[in-house]
């Protein structure tokens, strides 16, 4: 279940189909029941485990791209 109405499931599915058609390397992930704003550590919506996972993936992406 996605707990963020800013991007409905239909839009996520459409994005994933477009990325698949593109044929390049990509990763798309939905972080379960985390509400909008869940990566901001001083927000009531903050979800530490999900935020740390997302931050780790983002920093790994930057590290690989900026070699």
Q: Report CA-CA distances (Å) from 55 to 15, 18, 20, 27, 42.
A: 21, 24, 24, 14, 15
Give 13-63 pLDDT, tens digit per residue.
999 999 999 999 898 888 877 788 889 999 999 999 989 999 999 999 999
Whole-number pLDDT of residue 31: 80
What is the rounded distance in angstroms from the CA atom of residue 66 to the CA atom of residue 9?
A: 32
HSE at residue 3, side-chain half, CA atoms within 13 A, is 11
How much is the pTM? 0.71
Question: Is 7:34 a contact under the CB 8 Å cutoff?
Answer: no
Question: Is 35:45 a contact under the CB 8 Å cutoff?
Answer: yes
Predicted confidence band of residue 1 (pLDDT cuts 50, 70, 90): very low
């Amino acid at each position: 279940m996605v707990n963020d109405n800013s991007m409905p499931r239909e839009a996520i599915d459409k994005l994933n189909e477009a990325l698949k058609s593109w044929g390049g390397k990509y990763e798309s992930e939905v972080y379960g029941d985390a509400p909008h704003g869940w990566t901001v550590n001083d927000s009531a919506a903050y979800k530490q485990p999900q935020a740390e996972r997302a931050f780790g993936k983002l920093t790994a992406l930057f590290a690989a791209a900026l070699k």
